[in-house]
Amino acid sequence: MSLREDSEFFDQAPPTNQEKPLLDTNGNLLPELREILTEVFENFAVNGQLTEEGATKWVKKCNHWKHDYSVQLAREILNRHSTEGHLNLEEFVRFYQQAAKQHAYHVRKDLKQLGYAQYRPLLGKSLLIPQGKLTDDTRKCLVRIFKKFSKLDSPTDRLTLVGATEWVMKCNTWDRVRASQLATELLRTHGNRQHLTMTREQFLKYYRLASTQHPVHVRKDLEQLGYEVYKLAPMLTEERELTEDMNHVSEDIFYQFADEDNITIQGCYEYVKACLATLDEKTTTECAKFLTSTYGKSEIGVTMEGFKMFIKDASIRDQDGLRQDLFNLGYMGYAP
């Protein structure tokens, strides 16, 4: 790596989880957001009119719902927020301004789905690419972390026991003695055993291996070191209720697999298969039957309320398994 490439790792600001504002002090949409919404409108409107067809495509882009549910919501929005059966640009912008005042979460979710992630940064940022290598962002973060702690002693291009101890203390809440013991072990195992040092490449190699075997611990380290975007999105509040995000994720999943107002046993089968495609036919069917009999009525299916109860119970009893299911369903911020 050249000196110029190396410097680029440190010049870039670390990833942040700070959300961009929606409204000014007077409760009006900020100019930048108005421009974004104008762009969104033009993507789905025809001749300055957002009709039912375009509105349905817009709703589907903002959610993962089945077509029928998307049509239903599109019609409801047009009926309530348009004067001529279709939305013009001002009505579209006014709809979002009102929503930003009353339901900011939904506005941010829409914007993220539409590609404007800065309005709702995603937790659970990926550590590795599919080939098992560190992502560019993760590598940049780790290089920045290495530089910070290697500067605490000489030579500054190596992590010594002094810097390693501070690194371990920062990642945990341990006293210096205990941190020094772990730091010594890490330098012996993953660095230069004879001199108790670790090069940058050895540091990166250690975290790549840890990301493969113990990703939760790596995420905890990065969170403690100031990189909150690597934290897994929480599922439960302190009162052990679903978080606002999980409530809406549950609704989103429900609408993907429900018919009418219930997820039938066939829908439950499709849900289980989507969560774990490698399950055999018999096991998938048994899981679907369990879901309908435990959280719904076998002859009708599972209601929204019943499905949320299932997600809550799964969050309490088997959070790692549920996180894997959510990952397979496309909700990367909950990835294990």
pLDDT of residue 51: 97
Assess if residue 40 is contained within a domain. Answer: yes
Q: How far apart are CA 233 and CA 172, in angstroms?
A: 20
Q: Are residues 152 and 98 in the same domain?
A: no
Q: Is residue 26 part of a domain?
A: no
Same domain, 314 and 257: yes
Residues 72 and 147 in one domain: no
Residues 156 and 197 placed together within one structural domain of the fold: yes
Residue 24 lies in a domain: no
What is the token pair recorded at 221? Answer: 């380290």
For residues 148 and 218, state if they share a domain: yes
pTM: 0.67
Three-state secondary structure string covering the chain:
CCHHHHHHHHHCCCCCCCCCCCECCCCCECHHHHHHHHHHHHHHCECCEECHHHHHHHHHHHCCCCHHHHHHHHHHHHHHHCCCCCECHHHHHHHHHHHHHHCHHHHHHHHHHCCCHHHCCCCCCCCECCCCCECHHHHHHHHHHHHHHHCCCCCCCCECHHHHHHHHHHHCCCCHHHHHHHHHHHHHHHCECCCCEECHHHHHHHHHHHHHHCHHHHHHHHHHCCCHHHCCCCCECCCCCECHHHHHHHHHHHHHHCECCEECHHHHHHHHHHHCCCCCHHHHHHHHHHHHHHHCECCCEECHHHHHHHHHHHHHHCHHHHHHHHHHCCCHHHCC
Same domain, 100 and 153: no
* Residue-range definition of the domain harbouring residue 146: 136-230
pLDDT tens by residue, the chain, 336 residues: 333 334 333 334 445 556 789 999 999 999 999 999 999 999 999 999 999 999 999 999 998 788 888 999 999 999 999 999 999 999 999 999 999 999 888 898 899 889 887 787 667 888 999 899 999 989 999 999 999 999 999 999 999 999 999 999 999 989 999 999 999 999 999 999 999 999 999 999 999 999 999 998 999 999 999 888 888 888 999 999 999 889 988 998 999 999 888 999 999 999 999 999 999 999 999 999 999 999 997 678 999 999 999 999 999 999 989 999 998 998 877 876
Given CA atoms 125, 129, 133, 136 in this order, what sign does their dihedral have?
negative
The total number of structural domains in the chain stands at 3
Q: Note whether 261 and 221 are same-domain residues.
A: no
176 and 221 belong to one structural domain: yes
pLDDT at 11: 37
Decide if 124 is inside a domain: no
pLDDT value for 171: 96
In a domain, 5, yes or no: no
89/144 same-domain check: no
Q: Are residues 222 and 162 in the same domain?
A: yes
C-alpha 316/C-alpha 308 separation (Å) is: 12
Q: What is the pLDDT of residue 299?
A: 74
108 within domain boundaries? yes
* Domain final residue pick, 230, 254, 284: 230
Of 230, 252, 287, the domain-final residue: 230
Instruction: Indicate which CATH number applies to the domain containing 101.
Output: 1.10.238
125, part of any domain: no
Residue 22 lies in a domain: no
Instruction: Specify whether 255 is located in the same domain as 329.
Output: yes
Q: Please work out, in degrees rounded to the nearest 5, the angle formed at the alpha carbon of residue 40 by the alpha carbons of 37 and 46.
A: 120
Which pLDDT belongs to residue 17? 58
Which of 89, 119, 149 terminates a domain? The answer is: 119
Same domain, 45 and 107: yes
